[in-house]
Amino acid sequence: MSRKTESQRIDIYSRITDRIIEELAGGVRPWMKPWNAKNTNGRITRPLRHNGQPYSGMNVLLLWSEQMSRGFASSMWMTFKQALELGAAVRKGETGSTVVFASRFTKSEADGNGGEVDREIPFLKAYSVFNAEQIDGLPEHYYSRPEIVLDPIARIEQADRFFRNTGAVIRHGGNQAFYAPGPDVIQMPPFETFKDAASYYATLSHEATHWTADENRVGRDLSRYAKDRSERAREELIAELGSCFLCADLGIAPELEPRPDHASYLQSWLKILADDKRAIFQAAAHAQRATAFLHGLQPEAAGRRDAA
């Protein structure tokens, strides 16, 4: 990798992290913005690619932020070229929004013994996408908003089935929600102590993200969670992002106000992001893996695997 390419990659991390730090410093958790937006009708979804597939990880945060700050009602995004392929065109003067593509390439290097060894090198590439509302000539369905979900009871039943299908042991009692790695148990306050059912499942989605950390699931190391404030803050950031992703997928609202036991993490997150420009990218990637694992435990996912 050339020095110029490496510099560009670092600049991508810095530009995006600095923007998130600015919002956090102002007391705004940017991943909560879709649900805090005024006059938001219908359900919140993940941003969608031109083919209807949802974005994942860091790109969810980037495009949610763009959608809210620029007032786009549509969740559909595509590149300039993809718009042309659909017989449409980005309007003159429109500016794109940044998304990133992360991958790895293999490079052969001398091993010091006259031989060669292959080394995997990660890379990050930024490119621009445009919202459907910046594009003329798309087929009509690209301009439609996500369907309004009118029945909150159906949404809650869906969420209940989702968490039941994970097989996680969920116990109720006390006044705190937490995941206990030793006994491998999610502890929740009684259902009736929450202001509504959506709040209960939003909290459960946070704890279920922690639950995925077990070595037999996605394998995040929680050994220093109780001892290291920084490690605890990193894991809580993963769980908060995971909860937002799950809430969007399930059509419920996340915890808009930080829980009392979580409010102190804001300053820790600011320090982590200031010290490590890759931290938010890593947290979003871990959150994506966690939510993908939970989705993979659903019967419909098993059916897709069997069909394949």
Write out pLDDT tens, residues 173-223.
Answer: 999 999 999 999 999 999 999 999 989 999 999 999 999 999 999 999 999
Is 103 in the same domain as 176?
no
Each residue of 227-250: pLDDT tens digit?
A: 999 999 999 999 999 999 999 999
Contacts of 224-228 with C-beta under 8 Å, sequence gap 24+, read 225/181
- The C-alpha atoms of residue 211 and residue 217 are separated, in whole angstroms, by 8
| Count of the separate structural domains present in the chain | 2
Q: Please tell me the predicted confidence (pLDDT) of residue 217.
A: 97
Which domain-ending residue is among 94, 118, 143?
A: 143
Which domain-ending residue is among 143, 163, 193?
A: 143
Domain that holds residue 7: 3-41+44-143
Q: Please tell me the predicted confidence (pLDDT) of residue 141.
A: 85
Q: Please tell me the predicted confidence (pLDDT) of residue 8.
A: 53
Starting at the edge strand that comes first in sequence, how are the strands of the sheet with 178-180 ordered?
170-172, 185-188, 178-180
Q: Please tell me the predicted confidence (pLDDT) of residue 121.
A: 67
Is 50 in the same domain as 183?
no
Is 124 in the same domain as 193?
no
Q: Please tell me the predicted confidence (pLDDT) of residue 149.
A: 57
- Token representation of residue 149: 């979900």
Is 77 in the same domain as 135?
yes
Is 284 in the same domain as 157?
yes
Which domain-ending residue is among 143, 168, 203?
A: 143
Is 20 in the same domain as 136?
yes
Is 125 in the same domain as 198?
no
Q: Please tell me the predicted confidence (pLDDT) of residue 175.
A: 93
Judge whether 1 and 7 are in contact, CB under 8 Å. no
Is 225 in the same domain as 180?
yes
**Regions of the chain with pLDDT less than 70:** 1-10, 37-42, 103-107, 112, 119-123, 145-150, 301-308
